[in-house]
Amino acid sequence: MNRKIFLIAGTQDGRELAKILLERGFDVTASVVSDYGRKLLENFAGIKVNDKPLDADELEKLFRDGNFSAVVDASHPYAQNVSSNAISAAQAAKIFYVRYERAQVEITGENIFRVENYESAAIKARELGKNIFLTTGSRNLKIFVDMLRDCNLTVRILPTAEVLAQCEALNLSPKQIIAIQGAFSVELNVELFKHANAEVIVTKNSGQIGGADTKLEAAKILNLPVVMIDRPKIFYPNVAATFDDVLNLLEASK
């Protein structure tokens, strides 16, 4: 019987990993939290998709009832609660856990201000300028909207109905929203930053696949300060830096 893998796959590299695991003969159930993510994964033959958000207790029950042998966590580098719940559930269910952690981009330069969380990012951004360009995704927009009411915000988000509805609920105007899917070149970032009259860029170190490198280069060209939110500090029982490392760890865990 093929080994059953529960893959947390709400990222581009998570989807690429799903394809590789299926090709290697694993029985893969991929977990996402958006309709967009589900639709992308359903193109893979033989994959099962879970699109219901699950807490640690629900994950543990699923792992036990589904007879899974391993959890592969390819969630976004900043999805702290997702990873923490997966680790806890895997330990409770006594199944193998491995984290696929995409590489960070190297941070150099004097105009980059590193902070630990979203609240600190909002405070630092306000110190640096009034026209603030957010490239941090949609999940923590409310923090910035609430804390930066005296600033001019531009938010770059995915163009999905769910995310646009969230922006509308936060009373963001169409002028404040750039709804577009990456990847973004340096040149496009430069033009978007200029179009918004940005004075500060707020971003995360999501690696090259998340476009952190091109954002930093564009900001450097325009001499704009960057507020960089550091990745959350999580202890992962097993960490893989490449897809081959994931496969090797799964093989060794038999």
pLDDT at 1 over 50: no
Q: What percent of the chain has pLDDT over 90?
A: 69
Mean pLDDT, the chain, rounded, equals 91
- Where does 112-229 sit in CATH, by number? 3.40.50.150
Shortest CA distance to 55 belongs to which of 32, 77, 84? 84
pLDDT score for 2: 63
DSSP string for residues in 190-243 = HHHHHHTT-SEEEEE---GGGTHHHHHHHHHHHT--EEEEPPP----SSEESSH
Q: Give the CB-side neighbour count of residue 238, counting CA atoms within 13 A.
A: 20
Structure confidence at residue 169 as a pLDDT band (50, 70, 90): very high
Kindly report which listed range (6-15, 34-43, 176-185) carries the lowest average pLDDT score: 34-43
pLDDT score for 210: 72
Q: Give the CB-side neighbour count of residue 178, counting CA atoms within 13 A.
A: 21
pLDDT at 13 over 90: no
Shortest CA distance to 203 belongs to which of 161, 17, 220? 220
Q: How far apart are CA 131 and CA 120, in angstroms?
A: 17
Q: Which CATH architecture group holds 4-102+233-252?
A: 3-Layer(aba) Sandwich (3.40)
- Phi, psi values for residue 10, rounded to 5°: -85, 30
Query: Token digits for 13?
Result: 């590299």
Q: What percent of the chain has pLDDT over 70?
A: 99
* Cβ neighbours around 247 below 10 Å, total: 18
85: DSSP letter: H
How far from 130 is each of 97, 122, 167, 198, CA to CA, in Å? 44, 11, 20, 8
Domain chopping of the chain, boundaries: 4-102+233-252, 112-229
Non-local (6+) Cβ contacts of 24 within 8 A are: 247
Q: How far apart are CA 73 and CA 238, in angstroms?
A: 10
- Helix%, strand%, coil% for the chain, nearest 5: 40, 20, 40
pLDDT at 238 over 90: yes
pLDDT score for 65: 92
Tens digits of per-residue pLDDT, 80-103?
A: 899 999 999 999 999 999 999 887
pLDDT score for 167: 95
DSSP string for residues in 5-54 = EEEE--SHHHHHHHHHHHHTT-EEEEE-SSHHHHHHHTTSTT-EEE-S--
* Cβ neighbours around 14 below 10 Å, total: 24
Kindly report which listed range (1-5, 6-10, 57-61, 137-141) carries the lowest average pLDDT score: 1-5
Query: Token digits for 48?
Result: 């099962």
In this chain, the answer to whether the domains covering 4-102+233-252 and 112-229 adopt an identical fold is yes
pLDDT at 244 over 80: yes
Region 188-209 average pLDDT: 92
pLDDT at 215 over 80: yes
- Say whether pTM exceeds 0.85: no
